[in-house]
Structure 1
């Protein structure tokens, strides 16, 4: 693998690792809100355009896709906890409960409440 390809793969790997840490920080209250893609690119020491192009090329989709996907993964984990209500999950993820419900349904096909109900039945 040539040097530019290695760097692109490194950027993609750093991004996914950063997302995991950042989302955990938001849930724990260490960060008040989710960072913008532009801020993340800057944190990884690359321009916004180069960052976006690199993620698309290496991972096949826009960086926002992976951001949202990881937020949904965390939401599903939290909804799987017995005492965790959808409104609490929404707040921990810095969403208004109504907007969170729409976002979650767009990704999963069901509301957070329905997901929790189905999860508990399994």
Structure 2
């Protein structure tokens, strides 16, 4: 959830003050305090689901914006070119020509995730 318990307390305190100010104009002090206390409790407890909904909305907006920016270089991309001694990046001499990125090492696939191994396991299971 977003925020802390102080957000709930602040919302409850705001409801308490507004309710007390409006109830004092037409009620006795004890009744006004009772109604303001009830307003504090109601708004304090109502802030929990409100914060929960805001957290869900913020999370979905963040994931939507991150998926929209997937094609754009992130902060990691700005760090990588500044490293010296890298052979897979373009050199300073051929800035005007296009050269595809070449990886110096090959990624290894775990045997359990290898497509040929998975296909063999599925074939064995379907034959039995």
TM over 0.5: no
Structure with the greater relative contact order (CA < 8 A, sep ≥ 6): 1 or 2?
A: 1
Structure with a larger share of its residues in helix:
1
TM-score (norm 2): 0.26
Structure with greater Cα Rg: 2
TM-score (norm 1): 0.27
